[in-house]
Amino acid sequence: MKDNLRFGLIGRSLKHSYSPAIHSMIGGYEYRLFPLEPDELADFVKATDLDGFNVTIPYKKAVIPLCSELSPRAEASGSVNTMLRLPGGGWRGENTDYEGFLRLLGDDAPAFHEKKALILGDGGAAATVRTVLDELGIRHETLRISRYAGPDLKARHPDAELIINATPVGMYPENGKSPVDLGDYPACRLVLDLIYNPAKTALMLQAERLGIPARGGLLMLCAQATRAAELFLGQDLPRELAGSIADKIRRDMLNVLLIGMPGCGKTTIGRRLAELTGRELLDTDELIRKKTGMDIPEIFEKFGEACFRELETGVLREVSKESGKIIATGGGVVTVPQNLDLIRQNSICIFLDREKEKLDISGRPLSRSVGIDELYSRRLPLYRCWADLTFRVDDPDTTAENIKKELGL
């Protein structure tokens, strides 16, 4: 194997790709991003001096005519996501998405033998999914969906037991969109969404509400990357490597979002946690102040709580799309049901539970008008329901350190 191996990823929009981070954890070679417009693709493939590269949307089919040869799986699927330089010149097209999707489906595969799967989308990823399902003996249908389709799409194949989203609908930054309404699929027993950002798409969140198991595409991404690295390096890698990389990426990408009563220390603990982890702190109350030029009590006084909650949800909609941030929210964020999905899509939600008697309610409009006892009794069940983890708050510094340790940040 030669020294100074150089690889990369080509695609049209790569700004938020996790691939460099994944390949850096595998190690042993340089890995860079190469965003390309369609009219640049052929010239790049002909001129590049890379030893190999991965291919993502929208070029998994477009690179096939540029390959000198194809692996059997690439040929069967009509999709290429890995290109290897041949010794005599030219490129061999491989499909490591095959291994990635097989890993994502995992031990559930036998349960769907001779059952119906519905594949959403008809691009390169969908082609790979069809190839895997064919080999596993899982019947399938394909539903072609626009990138901007909404959940009111008329249901087809309502007897599908496995639904696989192979479209970009719901992918960052278009969070909140869903290709179908799962209520139209009463037979569905498992949802697989190949999107990995956000961690939980709108489709996955609906599945969870309906009690349907759902998995996102991060493990698939890491498994296809480790298989590509094996081809790049010409050596086998441990099977567990993909899972450990996925766990690390997941920890890094999820926001840490703090909820709790007014005066419980969300901003103080958030600031300390940001210092401890090197993450950016986003405080929704502060962002509302900057947006409106008014303090929170002034907004309540002039426009009322409903106006403030609308502003708060708008800010939350934007910050909750982010990855790897510390987010401090207002105490009443849990009073708006639609905020729950915004929080759950890309964050670990932490309830900071401080004794009622120790809450600092000075300058808190609702705490003064409603009364702390009434507010506490209303909101405590919501905090507990929304939270993934709960931390008792005595000393803010200690609480921040405990959160960092518990989350492995």
pLDDT of residue 372: 85
pLDDT digits (tens, 9 = 90+) for 68-101: 999 999 999 999 999 999 999 999 999 999 999 9
Q: Is residue 1 part of a domain?
A: no
CA 78 – CA 61 distance, rounded (Å): 7
301: left (phi over 0), alpha (psi -120 to 50) or beta: alpha
Active site residue 116: no
For residues 163 and 49, membership in a common domain is answered with no
- Write out the two tokens for 46: 């002909």
pLDDT of residue 369: 61
For residues 309 and 402, membership in a common domain is answered with yes
pLDDT of residue 210: 98
Average the pLDDT over 267-272 and give the result: 98
Q: pLDDT-based confidence at 225, cuts 50/70/90?
A: very high
Q: Choose one of 216, 238, 272: the last residue of a domain.
A: 216
For residues 87 and 236, membership in a common domain is answered with yes
pLDDT of residue 151: 46
For residues 196 and 309, membership in a common domain is answered with no
For residues 14 and 110, membership in a common domain is answered with no
Q: Residue 326 is part of a domain; what is its CATH number?
A: 3.40.50.300
For residues 169 and 239, membership in a common domain is answered with no
- Average pLDDT over the chain, rounded to whole? 94
Q: Is residue 211 part of a domain?
A: yes
Q: Residue 57 is part of a domain; what is its CATH number?
A: 3.40.50.10860
Q: Choose one of 206, 235, 251: the last residue of a domain.
A: 251
Q: Is residue 16 part of a domain?
A: yes
For residues 158 and 240, membership in a common domain is answered with no
Q: What is the per-residue DSSP string for 143-182? A: E---TT--TTSPP--TT-SEEEE-S-TT-TTSTT--SS-G
- The rounded percent of the chain whose pLDDT value lies above 90 is 89
Q: Residue 199 is part of a domain; what is its CATH number?
A: 3.40.50.720
Helix (H) or strand (E) holding 119: strand 116-120
CA 50 – CA 31 distance, rounded (Å): 10
Does residue 394 register a pLDDT over 70? Answer: yes
Q: Is residue 181 part of a domain?
A: yes
CA 409 – CA 273 distance, rounded (Å): 10
pLDDT of residue 124: 85
Domains of the chain: total: 3
Q: Which of 15, 60, 200, 325 is catalytic?
A: 60
CA 258 – CA 285 distance, rounded (Å): 12
For residues 268 and 142, membership in a common domain is answered with no
* Residue range of the domain that includes 80: 6-94+222-251
Q: pLDDT-based confidence at 27, cuts 50/70/90?
A: confident
Does residue 381 register a pLDDT over 70? Answer: yes
Q: Is residue 146 part of a domain?
A: yes
Average the pLDDT over 304-325 and give the result: 97
